[in-house]
Amino acid sequence: MYNNYFQLRQAPFSIAPDPRYLFMSERHREALAHLLYGIGSGGGFVLLTGEIGAGKTTVCRCFIEQIPDNCRLAYIFNPKLTVEELLLTICDEFRVTLPQASGAATGPGGVKGYVDAINAYLLESHAQGSNNVLVIDEAQNLSPQVLEQLRLLTNLETSERKLLQIILIGQPELRTMLAQPELEQLAQRVIARYHLGPLSESETGAYVAHRLAVSGTQAGSPIPASLTPLIHRLTHGVPRRINLLCDRALLGAYVENSREVTPKILRRAAQEVFAGEASPARAPLRWPLVAGGVLAGAAISAAAWQVVPRASAPAPVPVRQPAALARVKAVPAPVSAAPVAVPPAQARPLVLATQEEALRELGSLWGQQLPAGEPCQGAPRLGLRCYQGKGGVYELRLLDRPAIVALHDGQKLGYAVLSRMDGESATLSVNGRRQTVSLGALATRFDGEFTTLWKVPRAFRDEVRPGDTGPDVDWIAGRLAGINKSAAPPASQAFDAPTRRLLREFQAGQNLKADGVAGPRTYMRLNQLGGVEEPRLLAAAPAATPTANGKQ
């Protein structure tokens, strides 16, 4: 209805999965990388979860288009099946020849007949050099009995690999299902897991602009970029919700004869589209799994690194990605000398630490001994603050600082200090013992959640806003002046509009949220560029020696 009014070729925010509108954020690319990694990893289960409308189907379609020629794919999109119905569907998808039923009440000899036929097919396929991948969408609808049967199907293996790779795609409750004691054996066979979170604010803006551009927007966008923060807040960054909201907002602008969507129109559209929802606050991810990590190469073996946590500890507060298979766009990594990786045969598995132990070891990198019990609560007395984030390797590259990372082994959780990283490997430290692992191996265990430390300037406030005065305002103004090679402003000046403009320009140039509000991440980057001595993650030399900053 509004296409002609806005001079668009077609509706830009249809919820139909039109490949012309494909937008792959960094987290979508990394989710795709996990799936592609899985098909070359030697079998087992790969788990992809995400909130409703997060883009799981988009990732799955891209994956199907990119599977190697030697892969045979079976895709099940309706998993509300009994065990026998599932086995029959697998046979249909793989075109398995079934023997004639010999007096059996159901199927070619019941469950055993189906399983025997599938096993014979997998052995023959393996002899021909082919891999077999079973993709099950909406896997949260699988019953425990069906999940157990799937696990049994993965028992068929050679001395080198399992003959069937199973990819489970589903909503967050799928993770809860796999955490049940009766499915522990299946959970231990998950070689890679990824939770597809919502888009960030900047990604939301890029997503809206991308769809408008594909639909033929010429001069002047009907949805101004200034509305991005409001769109992100109203939709929680979920692509499907963004489509619904923007479609209704364009319709509202058309009805009101407005050449662009206004904040008033957008809020009214949200009331219509999301009527009845309790709150626009972002839904918690509850138990984020692997949310970050670079998959370096298509044939990385998950067995290259095994971890056995010593103790299970509560996960830190939740919180980004890169990808590394040839078909996935890679995030540029800083040039640095790669450490010598410890061969798997020589490296003993790391016994992971508790969260408190890892935090205290992290504090030693800053030259401080954090107090026992509650290290983060005691850190401010030592001039440090804890910063808890989510997003994984991508986010840590941006922050360029060591951190403790949450690592999974099956259903268990432990912590290690990620002390350095380059484009191919990462160095983990637990109670002083170090081990270098590939980023692909890290990706199969990394929970995506991390905690890091940063040095706090004098009189620090959590946020500096317009009109504020004090030592922290002077500190920010002085840092910005130094970076811009301009004269330092006089002391005790208010945080005025020109200073805020400089801060926004700085934030935009550093891949930070350009809101003109000084928060922890802005302070961290001002510290780094201002020469404050802090340990770096992207070091260019072994951690045992002083290193230059490897981040440009």
pLDDT digits (tens, 9 = 90+) for 285-324: 222 222 233 333 322 223 223 333 333 333 333 333 333 3
Helix (H, G, I), strand (E, B) or coil at 312: coil
- pLDDT (0 to 100) of residue 335: 35
Question: CA 408, 410, 414: angle at the middle one, nearest 5?
Answer: 30
Which of 20-24, 77-81, 464-468 has maximum average pLDDT? 77-81
Say if residue 108's pLDDT is above 80: no
Helices within 179-295 (DSSP H only): 184-187, 201-214, 228-235, 239-255, 263-273
* Contact yes or no for 8/155 (Cβ under 8 A): no
- pLDDT (0 to 100) of residue 126: 86
Mean pLDDT of the chain: 77
Amino acid at 501: R
The pLDDT confidence band at residue 370, using thresholds 50, 70 and 90, is very high
Helix (H, G, I), strand (E, B) or coil at 353: strand
pLDDT, average across residues 173-187: 84
Question: CA 222, 223, 228: angle at the middle one, nearest 5?
Answer: 170
Which of 221, 263, 266, 275 has the alpha carbon at shortest distance from 247?
Answer: 266
Say if residue 403's pLDDT is above 50: yes
- pLDDT (0 to 100) of residue 357: 92
- pLDDT (0 to 100) of residue 277: 64
Looking only at the bridges linking them, the beta strands covering 384-390 and 165-170 are unpaired
Produce one character per residue of 348-385: b if its CB has 16 or more CB atoms within 10 Å, e if not: eebebbbbbbbbbbbbebbebebbeeebbebbeebebb
* Residues above pLDDT 90, as percent of the chain: 24
Token pair for 437: 């692992």
Global pTM reads 0.51
